[in-house]
Structure 1
Amino acid sequence: MNADLEEQEDELLALESIFGSEEFVRNESKSAGEIRVSVELPADFKVALKEGETLRQYEISFLTALVLTFDLPEDYPSCSPPSFTLTCSWLTYTQLAALSAQLGDLYQATGGAVVLFSWVQFLREDSLKFLDIHSLLELPSDGHSIPEDKPNAATSHPCDSDLTSLTIQSDLNSESNADQQMSAKEEGALPSSSSALNPDEQGAASPPDSKDDPLPALSLTPSQALMSQILIHNAAQKRRAFASTVFDCGVCFTGWLGSDCVQLLECEHIFCQGCLGEFCKVQITEGNVRGLTCPQTGCTSAPTPAQVKRLVGEELFSRYDRLLLQSTLDCMPDVVYCPRLSCGSPVILDKSSNAALCSVCSFAFCAACRKTYHGTGDCQRRKLTHVALPGACVDLPQSQEGMKALWDDYTHGSKERQRLLESRYGRDTLRSSLETGLSDQWVSNNSKACPHCFWRIQKISGCNAMRCGHCGQLFCWGCLDPLFKHGYGHFQGGSCSNSFAT
């Protein structure tokens, strides 16, 4: 192995140790590979796209990578530079050509030394300054023509199913870079998928067929597709960077990886999942969904429903969702509830009349007295308010599930929530009728009536031979038949034979 090949091998091994597998891919069959270079952006960097008279600007922290594909000739680095292809989705043909020429100058400056790492450092740290791009990158708008005095300019950013890109392929051994570019095109070095424009062509390149378009339903223009690609990439990289960074929780003040934290979108305050999850669970259990805001003192931002669902689980989120809807309806002065026991659906009032029509059960009622609509005559209640009334304003739910949900809401809710429910259903109803109804339902489900005196009896353990504690009657728990003297023979044969334990 000669000295050049040894240096090539050492350089490729060094690149493998410096860059991860997502940044550097080596072609094992020859001295070649691909390096994805993420350009370092200054603070408050923006990408802009002009659409007609509107200039839309987006703050970006990560741009899609520059792709440097290289092939090392046998006499590299002593005599020949690498042959390479430079691909980028957000630079023009002119800018790529300028970067390509600068890479050639960097090789010449090394005096025959390895240069790939220096190229990567230049592209990462200095490429924007070299192209005079500082805090704003303006993407070319669709239909922007190529100036005649700039024959190497490429102003199209076509949408490709794999990578929207412009490509410059360079062989720095040639005497004329422009001649080499033309030769590369003639020999097919610039494939059609890269869509690099011929310098003589005018206007923007047309997008590919709809079957190859990754977003055909959106009908995006090429520039819009490029902006979408940049925004999606930026969001993904920000999530990745967040997950690998350590943050101090605003509640327990312990350092946690971002993957174990939640950042509220409005205020950007960060809390560990354990603290924020426990905070959310307490608020939802107490029925205080309006108090489910940022734990930071004085901050009124709130976690999104998706964040709440991940923190508390399906069961508590179902309660949160129901209470949030109920709380929202309660704050609306033009919403009442259908008085039918089998319905209870919210109904929007017409301010010009007390007439209300339930959209679920089609029941027409008076919004003031909650009775069947009686026309425009006088009513027991002239005006509907949300102030607590002596009696119940709304009938209790008819189903067992509805009664349980209401009782759970009332007993576990905050004082404000309890006052609101008392004003809607009536305090006496909630504290007596509802509790009694649930108790009666429990007794009905968990006890049986004595066949002699009909006293309710609950079986705790033992066999099915039961004696009523009220009248002394002996009977079978399974079939409720009375057991007279020597009645234990009832358990010998028949359907109750296996239910008697000695």
Structure 2
Amino acid sequence: MSANQEAQLDELLALASIYDEEEFRKRESMQKGEIRLCLELPPNFRLLLKGQACIECGISFLPPLVLSFELPTDYPSSSAPGFTLSSKWLSRVQITALCKRLDELWEENRGNVVLFIWIQFLKEETLEFLNIQSPLEIQNIGGQPQCKFGHNPAVETAVEKSEVQELDKRAVQEVDPNTDILTQLLDFNEAQKQKVFDGKIFSCGICISENLGSKSLLFKECQHVYCKACMKEYFQFQIRDGKVQCLTCPETECMSMATPAQVKLLVSQDEFARYDRLLLQWSLNLMADVVYCPRMSCCMAVIIEPDTTMGICPSCQYVFCTLCKRTYHGLSVCKEGAQLHGLRPSNGTTGEEGPHAETLLNLTKVNTQAEEK
């Protein structure tokens, strides 16, 4: 075995012992590999997305930089590793600047293994090197995310060169045209936060047992944690009683709600279907412009127009009075509705005479057809 081969083997074994399989992947029987590097963000780091509207939100994790490498036979004695560097949220100009810096680090350490030095730079110094500060400002330009950076001579030189020559071919910007960049960043952030949560130990606020986060449920608004076994029983009890609006944190006076995704994770398919239906009905009940079709065989939600007492069911086409829930009786004052509101109906008005008789006749025909269905 040559000195270069021995140095390469030692370096790859060292990297495999430092990083887990998600961070470091080596191709079998080849001197190639991939390193995924999540940057260490400072506390209270924020993301600002500029597009048709400005959106700002807190973020703890950003998608990793991916360093793909191939070790030539004369590395490290003569040649540097071949590589590409890719990112979902940095611009190609910024990635080009990082590539140039990796070249400089190789020149400073020529003749020695350099992968670990590259990894440490990318993981610990990228934000400072590119002068990226909170809030991280990202703009969508031509469908590609452009990350704004502060004053840095190295990056500005790369920008100037990119205006007169091609960007570094080793700099790759991963863009999914079918997914919004903000969605990608927030989804990754949530997945990483869940991964960290799953590996910690928590004490259940109900049974006081200690469990891994992977066996626990976190109410995101209040950050209270309970074991999944207790919460499953709690959710099932509330759903059976039809109290779907009560799937809140069990802590006294805490009103943090469980998300539908959390409920679906713990209850059966039939229980979730009942929860989903009752939750929709409860939400509709809170809306002033929504009533239900009075036909027992239908009961479809009906949106009513302002300043009218006529409802038309979109499902069975039944036309009814929204006050008394009977067949619509025209513009005359509804007797039952008048009693509810303390009004007196007009004398001699039956609801079936006057200029609206023809309209009422047509509505009666419609209702007759609806009832026959």
Q: Output the TM-score relative to the length of structure 1.
A: 0.53
Instruction: Measure how far apart 1:325 and its partner are.
Output: 4.5
Q: Secondary structure at the match of 1:85?
A: strand
Once the two structures are overlaid, the 10-residue window that deviates more, 331-340 or 273-282, is 331-340
**Residue from 159, 162, 165 that aligns with 1:153:** 159
Unaligned runs of 5+ in 2: 147-154, 342-373
Structure 2 CA distance for partners of 1:194 and 1:285, relative to 1, 3 Å? closer
2:267 partner SS:
helix
Aligned partners of 1:368 and 1:383 also within 8 Å: no
1:272 aligned to which of 227, 246, 254: 227
1:367–1:384 contact (8 Å) kept in structure 2: no
Given that 1:34 and 1:67 are in contact with CA atoms closer than 8 Å, whether structure 2 keeps it comes out as: yes
In 2, the alpha carbon distance for the partners of 1:110 and 1:81 equals 10
**1:304 and 2:259 are equivalent in the alignment:** yes
Q: Does 1:11 align with 2:11?
A: yes
Give a deviation string over 1:391-413, Cα, whole Å, max 9, x none: xxxxxxxxxxxxxxxxxxxxxxx
Deviations 1:150-169 (A, max 9, x none): 5632899xxxxxxxxxxxxx
- For 2:31 and 2:207, how far apart are their aligned partners in 1? 53
Residues 137-216 of structure 1: pairs in structure 2 closer than 5 A: 137-139=136-138, 142=141, 152-153=158-159, 190=169, 194=172, 214-215=177-178
Distance 2:319 2:100 in 1: 80
Q: Does the Cα contact within 8 Å between 1:93 and 1:152 map onto a contact in 2?
A: no
User: Counterpart of 1:91?
Assistant: 90
1:287–1:323 contact (8 Å) kept in structure 2: yes
SS in 2 for 1:90: coil
Alignment partners' CA distance in 1, 2:301 and 2:31 = 72
The aligned counterpart of 1:236 is: 191
1:247–1:270 Cα contact (<8 Å) kept: yes
Q: Which residue among 200, 218, 223 is the counterpart of 1:263?
A: 218
Distance in 2 separating the partners of 1:227 and 1:338 = 41
Which residue of the partner structure matches residue 119 of structure 1? Answer: 118
What are the superposed Cα offsets for residues 91-118 of structure 1, whole Å, 9 maximum, x if unpaired?
3455434434443454455574433222
Distance 1:344 1:91 in 2: 53
SS of 1:152's equivalent?
helix
Structure-2 change in CA distance of 1:367 and 1:383 (3 Å): farther
**Aligned in 2, Cα 1:383/1:28: closer, same or farther, shift over 3 Å?**
same
Q: Secondary structure at the match of 1:36?
A: strand
Task: In structure 2, give the amino acid aligned to 1:121.
Answer: Q
Shift of 1:4: 3.1
SS of corresponding position for 1:22: coil
Query: What is residue 130 of structure 1 aligned with on the other side?
Result: 129
What amino acid sits opposite 2:16 in the alignment? Answer: E
Bigger Rg, which one = 1
The C-alpha deviation readout for 1:111-140, integer Å capped at 9, x for no partner, is 744332222122111221222223333335
Distance 1:262-1:155 versus aligned 2 partners, 3 A rule: farther
2:335 matches 1:379 = yes
Calculate percent identity across the aligned residue pairs. Answer: 45
| Cα separation, 1, equivalents of 2:259 and 2:89 | 33
8 Å Cα contact 2:127-2:133 kept in structure 1: yes
CA distance, structure 1, for counterparts of residue 238 and residue 21 of structure 2: 45
Query: 2:275 maps to what in 1?
Result: 320
Change (3 A) 1:264 1:78: same
Query: SS of 1:383's equivalent?
Result: helix
Look up the equivalent residue of 2:44 and give its one-letter code: D
The 1:351–1:242 alpha-carbon spacing in structure 2 relative to 1, beyond 3 Å, is same
Report the aligned-residue RMSD: 4.2
Contact 2:106/2:114, CA 8 A, preserved across alignment:
yes
Separation in structure 1 between the aligned mates of residue 244 and residue 103 of structure 2, nearest angstrom: 63
Show the counterpart of 1:45.
Answer: 45
Q: Are the aligned partners of 2:97 and 2:158 in contact in 1 as well (CA < 8 Å)?
A: no
**What's the secondary structure of 1:310's corresponding residue?**
helix
CA distance in 2 between counterparts of 1:195 and 1:354 reads 58
Deviation at 1:326, TM superposition (A): 4.7
Q: Could you say if the C-alpha distance between residues 92 and 370 of structure 1 is closer, same or farther in structure 2, counting changes exceeding 3 Å?
A: closer
Distance 1:339 1:139 in 2: 52
Distance 1:24 1:250 in 2: 38
- The match for 1:394 is none
Give the aligned residue type for 1:12. L
Call closer, same or farther: CA 1:344–1:275 in 2, change over 3 Å.
Answer: same
How many pairs were matched up?
328
- Shift of residue 381, structure 1, vs aligned partner: 6.8
Show CA shifts across 1:414-433 (max 9, x none).
xxxxxxxxxxxxxxxxxxxx
In the TM superposition, 1:279-294 aligns within 5 A as 279-294=234-249
For residues 202-227 of structure 1, give each alpha carbon's deviation from its aligned partner in whole angstroms, at most 9, with x where no partner exists: xxxxx9xxxxx741xx7xxxxxx544
Distance 1:342 1:195, change over 3 A: closer
Q: Secondary structure of the equivalent of 1:320?
A: helix
Structure 1 residues without counterparts, runs of 5 or longer: 157-177, 197-206, 208-212, 219-224, 386-502
